[in-house]
Structure 1
Amino acid sequence: MHVAVKEIEVRYAETDQMGVVYHANYLIWMELGRTQLIEDLGFNYAKLEGEGIISPVIDIQASYKKPVRYGEKALVKTWIEEYDGFRVTYAYEIADESGNIAVTGLSKHVCVKKESFRPISIKRSYPDWHEAYEKAKKVEQAAN
């Protein structure tokens, strides 16, 4: 399983009046984590979009554990939790600079043609991405 790591420097504009990162900004950080993971695997999401393929979020979940504050750094860890050749579930763990988990989350995506929003098979349309995702995804442990 490959885990991408992206460091985020918390900017003042990302916080509320209490100096705590506003909750919606974690979703943006998840996107930065996904982009890092895709780059780590040797691909470029902008190039995919240039070919008329987009990957909308079809479901997203975030669990908030503790705040990250202005002036701190956060680490976004991202990995492929599930992948079936069609749908991708990315998992996230966002920690403060001391390593304390601040947020965990999941986002589910499917690739579609930009003009029609018709789903495509990653496995069939992008076999190199498919192979990389198969190698990078989380491997389930066998039950005892």
Structure 2
Amino acid sequence: MPESSSTPTAGPFSMPLRVRYVECDMQGRVYNAHYLTWVDMAHTEAIDELFGGYREIVAAGVDLVVAAADLQFRAPAHFDDRLQVHTTIHAPGHTSLRSDFTIARDETVLAECRMVHVCVDATTYEKQPWPAWLRAKLPGTG
């Protein structure tokens, strides 16, 4: 899934996570949709570290929308597991931004995800190139 590349990256950023009971299904495992929630949470944390916060980006007229998400499950998570969600953000394309995520319990990889976000105008939601000020803070462009 996430693969190594010569493209400059930011990160990995890491977010600790403790599995809540409500996130588990009748089989005692984390329900699959929660993994994407965790990925979104970790992406938000990485955006905060890179840009000072998602609200600042939107206030400057830029927003990010998900264009694609590919999630591969490797092993189950259970109630009260202590996990880490690792995020790597790659150099941006003209309008897109790829991020790779690994969800792990200790050394065991539970899931891997690749997500692509597209840069849009925060008012019209029309696709737009990354503004120069934002691009300068992204990996491989500064």
TM bucket, shorter chain? 0.7 to 0.9
- The number of equivalent residue pairs is 132
- Give the alignment's Cα RMSD to 1 decimal: 1.8
Counterpart selection for 2:71 from 62, 79, 88: 62
User: In 2, distance between residues paired with 1:112 and 1:37?
Assistant: 19
Flag the structure with higher strand content.
2
Q: Provide the rounded CA distance (Å) in 1 between the counterparts of 2:76 and 2:69.
A: 19
Over the matched positions of the two proteins, sequence identity in percent amounts to: 21
Runs of 4+ in 1 over 3 A off after TM superposition: none
TM-score where L is the length of structure 1: 0.83
Q: Shift in Å at residue 18 of structure 1?
A: 1.9
| Structure 1: segments with no counterpart, 5+ residues | 137-144
Local SS of the residue matching 2:137: helix
Structure with the largest fraction of helix: 1
Greater RCO, CA 8 A, separation 6+: 2
> TM-score w.r.t. structure 2 length?
0.84
Which shifted more, 52-61 or 24-33?
52-61
Q: Which residue of 1 aligns with 2:111?
A: 103
Residue pair 2:42, 2:86 contacting (<8 A) in 1 also: yes
Query: Which stretches in structure 2 are left out of the alignment for 5+ residues?
Result: 1-8
What residue identity is the alignment partner of 1:121?
A: P
